[in-house]
Structure 1
Amino acid sequence: MADYKYQDLLIEKGDVVLDAGRNPVLIQDRAVIAQDIKHAIIESNLAVELIAERSPSKKADIRTKLELLVEEDVRLVPGTVRLEEPTEGTIYVFATTADFGDVTTEITNV
């Protein structure tokens, strides 16, 4: 049996994902960190504010708040968080973990 530092249930669209045998799908390490980042952003409601905001200066402030929120995760290397908003309603988060390399997560239609 493999040893993992982090393990969690896979959550998509607010629900636990089940495999063909109706058992919860487990994720490990880097995927856990990505999922935790995504959930922290969604729960903060900052993604909704960013998408709804029209003022460029206020959008920049919200992006900074999002970056600071993600930077709070002690499993990430400080200063490596980067956000991209390629289309309206989509936010990509890029960062480097301390133990597992680069991590990317996508938040869409929040």
Structure 2
Amino acid sequence: MANYLYQDILIESGDVVLDAGRNPVLIQDRAVIAQDIKHAIIESNLAVYLIAERSPSKKADARTQLELLVEEDVRLVPGTVRIEEVDDGRIYIFAETLEFGGVSAEVNLD
């Protein structure tokens, strides 16, 4: 059995993902960190504010708040978080982890 630092149940669209045997799908290490980042952003409602806001200065403020929120994760290298708003309803988050290299997450609010 492999040794993992982090292990969790895979959640997609708010539901637990099940395998063919109807057991929860497990994710490890880098995928756990990405999922935790995504859930922190969704739970904060900052992504909704960023997408809904039209003022460039308020959007920049919301993006900074999102970066600071993600930076709170102690598993990430400080200063490596990057947020990109691709189009309405979709945000990409990129960062470097301490143990596993680069990690990315997508928050889709459609």
TM-score by length of 1: 0.98
Structure 1 unaligned regions, length at least 5: none
% identity of equivalent residues: 79
- Residue in 2 that maps onto 1:76: 76
What's the Cα RMSD here?
0.7
TM-score by length of 2: 0.98
SS in 2 for 1:86: strand
Deviation at 1:50, TM superposition (A): 0.5
Q: How many residues are paired up? A: 110
- Residue in 1 that maps onto 2:2: 2
Deviations 1:4-53 (A, max 9, x none): 00000000011100000000000000000000000000000000000100
SS in 2 for 1:69: helix
Structure 2 unaligned regions, length at least 5: none
* Distance in 1 separating the partners of 2:109 and 2:57: 22
* Distance in 2 separating the partners of 1:91 and 1:84: 6
Deviation at 1:109, TM superposition (A): 1.8
Alignment of 1:59-70 (within 5 A): 59-70=59-70
